Amino acid sequence: MALLVHLLACTFGLGSWVAINGLWVELPLIVNRLPEGWDLPSYLTVIIQLANVGPLLVTLMHKFCPGRLKERLVIYVILAVGVAACFLLPAFWTKTSVMLGSPHSTAFLVITFFLSLVDCTSSVTFLPFMMQLPAKYITTFFIGEGLSGFVPGLVALAQGVGIAKCVNVTLSPNSTTSNTSTIQTQYLPPNFSTEIFFFFLAAMMVLSLIAFVLLNRVPRTCELSRENLAAESVVSVSDGLNSPEVLTAPSDGGPAEPGQSWLRLLKPAYSRHQFAFIYFLVIWVNGLTNGVLPSVQTYSCMPYGNVAYHLSAALAAMANPVACVIAMFLPKRSLVFLGLLCLLGTAFGSYNMAMAALSPCPPLQGSAAGEALIVISWVLFVGALSYVKVMLGVILRDHSHSALVWCGAAVQTGSLLGALIMFPLVNVYHVFRAGDFCGTKCPL
């Protein structure tokens, strides 16, 4: 039963961001069919942030109408919407309409909004739902959430997305110039169509919905952990289960008083400053991993070649679930340790950002050392911050259901701030310049 619940929790977490992550990895093929071209990522960024209206409404309901929101019903609705939107994508994603005098992929953008609404709202509903299960399953949920980026990436690699080669192209002469040749990047055709990839995303959403249905049917058995057994000296377990009010054993050795669980005495108590630090870390980590660094990954990796780019994307996506597995077997709740690990991950992220800022001619371009450094830096950046993200979720899960709701709100806040900071830098001020490994010539 425990293994089955772990599998269901992982599959449930897989549906959290699989749709939007799938669209991002499929972009090299999508942009060739839609009129926006490579301006499409900037549209997607805005649409995803507009979809934060979902988690905003859920958070406000928890704040002003506590206990009124039916969490399971919300999850059923958003998963059903995600399944329907994924099945609509293959049929309508290429449909365009004229707006303001130019063609736009309105059907694709509208469907993307609903997929973003599903994924953003999952941050403030999926995690609190996991509160109903023992704490060990929340790490498995985070593994599934990490796989929501890794699995579509693997399928996209099998599809051959973004695989290119350098070819000599002869430019047509005009009346004043002779034949000239240049080296350009030529993208190879995919192994299967974009429509098939969208059906794969729909299948992942269906599996997540089925996993959620089965998780609701898992028997809610009372599991006695070692901490509970140790607490028997404070108050008997049977009294605590049978009493209509939960008992508390005061620290002064007096009689137990109702209104507060004695189990919380066994959990580490955090001050307001420590909780502020925890939520700051949640915002900071998600701002970097979901907003800031993804916006510049192509700028930091493409100058080193297609191999470096695809390795950094695939291995970094793999580092997320691997870090979650490590957190399952080697949990470390020390806030000092998590702060230092966050600092280390930020340092690797700073290296990636610096290479993106120096694009198209970063240091060690064209060398094996440069390619290895950028790949390793991306893997360690994602791995370190993924571990921090999981452990912060575990800490807040052990505190209360409300703490997990606000954790989801902090996740979306960090992602929103990161995207809002990077959007003008990338799309308005053009601080970063793309590097073409085939065509760019850098001074020695």
Residue 150 falls inside a structural domain? yes
Domain identity same for 20 and 85: yes
Residue 355 has a pLDDT of 94
Q: Count up the domains in the chain and report the number.
A: 2
Residue 158 falls inside a structural domain? yes
Distance of CA 169 to the CA centre of its chain: 40
Domain identity same for 193 and 320: no
CATH number for 92: 1.20.1250.20
Residue 112 has a pLDDT of 94
Residue 135 has a pLDDT of 79
| Closest-CA residue to 407 (of 388, 383, 381, 420) | 388
Please state the φ and ψ torsions of residue 401, each to the nearest 5 degrees.
Answer: -65, -40
Residue 418 falls inside a structural domain? yes
Output b/e per residue, 79-94; b: 16+ Cβ within 10 A.
bebbbebbbbbbeebe
Domain identity same for 40 and 157: yes
Residue 20 falls inside a structural domain? yes
Residue 59 falls inside a structural domain? yes
**Helix, coil or strand: residue 169:** strand
Domain identity same for 151 and 77: yes
Residue 266 has a pLDDT of 45
Residue 251 has a pLDDT of 39
State the Cα–Cα distance between residues 34 and 28, nearest whole angstrom: 11
Q: Range of 73's domain?
A: 1-166+188-219
Q: Which residues, at least 6 apart from 154, have a Cβ–Cβ distance to it below 8 Å? A: 314
Positions in the chain whose pLDDT score sits under 50: 221-266
- In a 13 Å sphere around the CA of 269, the CA atoms on its Cβ side amount to 6
Domain identity same for 345 and 205: no
Domain identity same for 204 and 334: no
Residue 181 has a pLDDT of 67
Domain identity same for 196 and 284: no
Kindly report the pTM of this predicted structure.
0.74
Domain identity same for 195 and 315: no
State the Cα–Cα distance between residues 280 and 238, nearest whole angstrom: 40
Q: Tell me 251's DSSP state.
A: T
Residue 414 falls inside a structural domain? yes
Q: Contact 415/298 with Cβ under 8 angstroms?
A: no
Domain identity same for 318 and 428: yes
**Helix, coil or strand: residue 88:** helix
Query: What's the count of helices (H) and strands (E) in the chain, helices before strands?
Result: 18, 6
Residue 135 falls inside a structural domain? yes
Residue 54 falls inside a structural domain? yes
CATH number for 379: 1.20.1250
**Helix, coil or strand: residue 2:** helix
Domain identity same for 209 and 330: no
State the Cα–Cα distance between residues 162 and 156, nearest whole angstrom: 9
Domain identity same for 284 and 415: yes
Domain identity same for 159 and 289: no
Structure tokens that stand for 182 in this block: 């240049």
